[in-house]
Structure 1
């Protein structure tokens, strides 16, 4: 009888545990190139998972992560047995990233995608001064801060949470805009926005107070203006075990200590 088992592609970070897991799983299930795979299994931590999701964006490939890193919030538990069964019953989460469009001090523009968040951070000892517009309307004429970020629901438990931004359920059509160490206005703690909002952030006094912009792993130096909006044409597909779904993990974070 022909073998109709799904084709698996295993990708691993350079971490020792991830490389060991790669050898174990290849011996059990084989390994095919990404283009031939029915499933991609990412072995590593959250950072590596994000890299794989970016690399497979809009490919339609299903990505299943197993934790061989440190935090592993985005990952499923690691086990070598019953992998095909786990893949067949896994929940599919479709993620729509943010698109960051920057206007830079050297006159260039650039575009990058962010599954977690777009952040802007001061370059020097001087606090950044930023003007924030939402859908073309000025909301903050001057925000003095270390930076600011716009996070997706999937990214709301990452950098956004560490700077005291709100956790957003995965299914909620919202974005979080959160300041990083706001100095003025001192009491502004951020806002929740509809996910179809267009956020424009202008750098005030850019020569005196230079600012970098970051979309997940992509950093742009010395930006003058950043536009942040949902990219409705880009999709990443992530698999999670039914007993460890992304929705449940994000919801549970709201009740953790």
Structure 2
């Protein structure tokens, strides 16, 4: 029986993931989570994001090696039982810098939330949103009329950002994407690619008449008046991948999928 170097095993509650847990525990020995210096995560992309967010909240960040037992598995490696110790030893680490969203509501409440994929602003009613867009305290767009807007990290650029016709960003590009969602005016604006050090501020115009919510990955704050977004390098995450199937390769190949 192989013992990892203080690796803990966590899994989603789905039947495939729980069956895999039983197989892995019968073959390998595992550390308890408080004693671990790395994680093996079983499930899909959603469970991996949930796990990464839990680490951010607890302020104890460990490298994570995921194996896909979900649907897409963009953030995961292939599920295989044999040779896991060697795979983890050879795994290629990737730094993922989350966004930090500071959202202020119409009532003056302040919410600070991390986002690994994206921060999105979305209209709450049938009324279009009107937003003032600032980059590094400079007004770059006095009025954007749209369904919403999002800021995506390279790791999240192939998710909601891609569905909104945003650009795919290489993982090590040190860039972020600013992408409008169904823009009405200016109609031809398709967004911007910004350096990761950029600070983005979004002010909701006519916030009472045209309410807008802000979402950091899956966590929503409703009726916002202003949202500030920046990369949070203090809490960088590390995801590990098999060398032959790394995240940067996946991101590159997504550009050739019709």
Same fold (TM over 0.5): yes
Contact 1:100 1:114 in 2 (8 A): yes
Instruction: Find the counterpart in structure 1 of residue 148 from structure 2.
Output: 147
Instruction: Find the counterpart in structure 2 of residue 51 from structure 1.
Output: 50
CA RMSD of the aligned region, Å?
Answer: 1.4
122-131 or 3-12, which deviates more: 3-12
Size of the aligned set, in residue pairs, is: 255
**Residue 209 (1) aligns with residue 210 (2):** yes
Unmatched 5+ stretches in structure 2? none
Q: Deviations over 1:41-73 (max 9, x none)?
A: 111111111111122235341100100111111
Structure 1 Cα separation of the partners of residues 190 and 133 of structure 2: 14
Structure 1 Cα separation of the partners of residues 93 and 12 of structure 2: 23
Contact 1:8 1:29 in 2 (8 A): no
Structure 1 Cα separation of the partners of residues 4 and 129 of structure 2: 55
Q: Secondary structure at the match of 1:88?
A: helix
Q: Secondary structure at the match of 1:17?
A: helix
Instruction: Find the counterpart in structure 2 of residue 185 from structure 1.
Output: 186
Unmatched 5+ stretches in structure 1? none
Q: Deviations over 1:176-202 (max 9, x none)?
A: 000011111111110101111110000
Q: Secondary structure at the match of 1:80?
A: coil
Contact 1:9 1:41 in 2 (8 A): yes
Instruction: Find the counterpart in structure 1 of residue 34 from structure 2.
Output: 35
How does 1:1-257 map onto structure 2 within 5 Å?
5-57=4-56, 59-257=60-258
211-220 or 158-167, which deviates more: 211-220
Contact 1:95 1:237 in 2 (8 A): yes
Q: CA deviation at 1:217?
A: 2.2
Contact 1:46 1:74 in 2 (8 A): yes
Structure 2 Cα separation of the partners of residues 40 and 95 of structure 1: 16
Q: Secondary structure at the match of 2:178?
A: strand
Structure 1 Cα separation of the partners of residues 48 and 160 of structure 2: 16
Contact 2:4 2:29 in 1 (8 A): no
Structure 2 Cα separation of the partners of residues 5 and 171 of structure 1: 29
Q: Deviations over 1:119-168 (max 9, x none)?
A: 11111111111110111111111111111000011111111001110001
Contact 2:152 2:161 in 1 (8 A): yes
